[in-house]
């Protein structure tokens, strides 16, 4: 039996598990990866190892840090009732170790904002905030399944 090692969207972050290949069905291959640098306050998207997009970002404040590690993009969301998330948001497999009582257990998102003047900065409760023009551009270039490194 062939087993696949997979990152699991559970706490603690960076937990892996083994899944029988036969239980996965089809799979999706991606040629992109995204890196968020919490020191430089940047997000860079790579395709085939070359940078194709970069933007300044806002990350978590000291008491609500953006978790570091290797994750992946879970989904893309485009409809909200609140403008605070901007026009697009990406759900990630990263989870806050601090805000576990938030909806769905404190998953960290990458999303737009209604306060673009605060970017770049340490401004969030752990999510990665982008200017709305930047998140719209990223939404055209990145798909669910993209590996995510937060350093």
Higher pLDDT, 150 or 102: 150
CA 24 from chain center: how many Å? 23
Q: Is the pLDDT of residue 58 over 80?
A: yes
Q: For residue range 95-141, what is the model confidence (pLDDT) as tens digits?
A: 888 876 666 678 899 999 999 999 999 999 999 999 999 999 999 99
For residues 72 and 94, the answer to whether their CB atoms sit within 8 Å is no
Distance CA 33, CA 139 (A): 13
49: three-class secondary structure by DSSP: coil
DSSP secondary structure, 90-117, as one string = EEEEEE-SS-TTSGGGTEEEEE--S-GG
Q: Where in the chain are the domains?
A: 30-150
What average pLDDT does the segment 71-84 reach? 85
Distance CA 82, CA 85 (A): 7
Distance CA 41, CA 120 (A): 6
Tell me the CATH class for 30-150. mainly beta
Q: What is the pLDDT of residue 26?
A: 80
Q: What is the pLDDT of residue 75?
A: 92
Q: Is the pLDDT of residue 84 over 70?
A: yes
How many Cα atoms are found within 13 Å in the side-chain-facing hemisphere of 109? Answer: 23
Q: Is the pLDDT of residue 82 over 80?
A: no
Distance CA 109, CA 107 (A): 6
Residues constituting the chain:
151
């Amino acid at each position: 039996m062939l087993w696949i090692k997979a990152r699991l969207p559970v706490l603690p972050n960076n937990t892996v598990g083994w899944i029988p290949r036969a239980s996965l069905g089809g799979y999706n291959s991606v040629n992109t990866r995204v890196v968020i640098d919490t020191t430089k306050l940047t997000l860079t998207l790579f395709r085939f190892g070359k940078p194709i997009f970069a933007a300044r970002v806002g990350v978590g404040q000291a008491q609500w840090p953006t978790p570091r590690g290797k994750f992946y993009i879970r989904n893309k969301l485009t409809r909200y009732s609140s403008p605070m998330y901007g026009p697009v948001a990406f759900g990630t497999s990263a989870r806050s170790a601090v805000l576990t009582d938030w909806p769905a257990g404190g998953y960290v998102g990458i999303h737009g904002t209604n306060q673009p003047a605060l970017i770049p900065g340490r401004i969030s409760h752990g999510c990665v905030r982008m200017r709305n023009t930047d998140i719209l551009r990223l939404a055209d270039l990145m798909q669910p399944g993209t590996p995510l490194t937060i350093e």
